[in-house]
């Protein structure tokens, strides 16, 4: 009998004899957030955690955040990084080091670079291998690259990034409650608008009530916006085409949605969005994973 098959069958019947050593569980829990508003929503969703930004990273223009937590007794190290001659990440000088307590989450902004990360963050502890991550973006809101292992952070991220697609030149209202008092106006972004004005039209939706979506906007403020003024664009990932689902996570999905399709978002559930769109003259509706929503105010299918 094939040895590999024998090992697999043995593993089914007993846990006393293993053909291979079990894979070590991820030492750290990691989540990747792609906007300042998503970061604000994440903080609110995790009220029992304290958040610590790496030195020199409180400001900056990157809209990408890597959030890491690990059990007490773990050590976090931050290194200089770059691309080696073999194309792999080369780690340089140690910049920062401290112990983790399991209750503090470390926040690292994605470094803006020309194709190579400039920082590497590593977590190690007794009896576990060192895990390292290098998040960076190739432009202000450009393509994201994350190298390294990816652990699961239970119950997160909550919500999806969306664009304000309203064409009203007077701006788009944000309300205190669904249909309630106007508390803010997100300005229209002209073709020559500043980076700040363009980024202001990217919000993070975390839920809905009727036809209204609960959003974080303006780097952390919260309010409600009508679903008819928010949308996104369908986007493939490196390994996945865009599949429309009847319900979040229900299997293979209903159909493939072409990349670049305009999406109107009507509801949000965790990291999923209920969308409406037209394709070949027919209307469709269903759920998409947040990773398939491309909400870049610089390069949008809604232009």
For CA atoms 27, 33, 39, 41, give the dihedral sign.
negative
In the chain, what are the domain boundaries? 29-147, 160-294
| Length reported for the chain | 303
Contact 202, 163 (CB under 8 A): yes
List the structure tokens of 84.
Answer: 């080696």
Cα atoms found within 13 Å of the Cα of residue 151, Cβ hemisphere only: 20
Predicted local distance difference test score (pLDDT) of residue 112 = 66
Q: How many CB atoms lie within 10 A of CB 97?
A: 11
Q: How far apart are CA 140 and CA 143, in angstroms?
A: 9
Give me the average pLDDT of each 10-residue run along the chain (303 residues): 29 31 58 83 86 70 78 89 80 90 85 74 80 69 56 61 91 95 91 80 90 89 94 80 86 84 90 90 91 81 80
- The structure tokens 């190290």 sit at 77
What's the pLDDT score for residue 31? Answer: 80
Structure-token match 């750290």, residue found = 28
**In terms of pTM, does the model score above 0.75?**
no
CA dihedral defined by 80, 85, 88, 89, rounded to 10 degrees? Answer: 0
What's the pLDDT score for residue 265?
A: 93
203, burial (CB in 10 Å: exposed 0-12, middle 13-18, buried 19+): buried
Q: What is the pLDDT of residue 73?
A: 87
Using alpha carbons, list the distances in angstroms from residue 127 to 24, 99, 147, 287: 9, 16, 23, 41
SS3 for the chain, per residue? CCHHHHHHHHHHHCCCCCCCCCCCCCCCEEEEECCHHHHHHHHHHCCCCEEEECCCCCCCCCCCEEEEECCCCCEEEEEEEEECCCCCEEEEEEEEEEECCCCEEEEEECEECCCCCCEEEEEEECCEEEEEEEEEECCCCCCEEEECCCCCCCCCCCCEEEEECCCCCCCEEEECCCCCCEEEEECCCCCCCCHHHHHCCEEEEEEEECCEEEEEECCCEEEEEEHHHEEEEECCCCCCCCEEECCCCCCCCCEECCCCCEEEEEEEECCEEEEEEEECCEEEEEEEEHHHEECCCCCCCCC
């Amino acid at each position: 009998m094939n040895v590999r098959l024998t090992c697999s069958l043995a593993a089914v019947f007993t846990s006393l004899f293993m053909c291979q050593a079990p894979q070590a569980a991820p030492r750290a829990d990691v989540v990747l957030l792609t906007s300042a508003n998503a970061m604000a929503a994440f903080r609110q969703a995790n009220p029992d955690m304290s958040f610590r930004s790496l030195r020199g990273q409180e400001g900056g223009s990157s809209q990408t955040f890597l959030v890491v937590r690990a059990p007490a007794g773990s050590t976090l190290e931050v290194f200089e990084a770059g691309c080696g001659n073999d194309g792999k990440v080369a780690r340089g000088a140690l910049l920062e080091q401290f112990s983790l307590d399991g209750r503090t989450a470390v926040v690292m902004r994605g470094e803006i670079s020309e194709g190579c990360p400039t920082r590497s963050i590593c977590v190690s502890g007794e009896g576990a291998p060192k895990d390292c991550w290098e998040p960076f973006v190739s432009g202000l809101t450009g393509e994201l690259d994350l190298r390294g292992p990816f652990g699961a952070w239970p119950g997160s991220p909550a919500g999806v990034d969306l664009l304000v697609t309203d064409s009203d030149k007077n701006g788009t209202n944000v309300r205190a409650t669904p249909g309630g008092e106007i508390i803010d106006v997100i300005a229209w972004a002209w073709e020559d608008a500043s980076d700040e004005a363009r980024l202001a039209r990217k919000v993070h939706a975390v839920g809905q009530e009727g036809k209204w979506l609960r959003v974080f906007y303006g780097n952390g403020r919260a309010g409600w916006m009508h679903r008819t003024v928010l949308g996104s664009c369908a986007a493939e990932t490196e390994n996945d085409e865009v599949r429309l689902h009847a319900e979040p996570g229900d299997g293979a999905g209903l159909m493939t949605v072409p990349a670049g399709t305009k999406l109107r978002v009507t509801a949000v559930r965790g990291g999923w969005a209920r969308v409406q769109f037209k394709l070949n003259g027919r209307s469709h509706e269903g759920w998409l994973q947040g990773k398939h929503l491309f909400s870049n105010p610089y390069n949008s299918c809604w232009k």
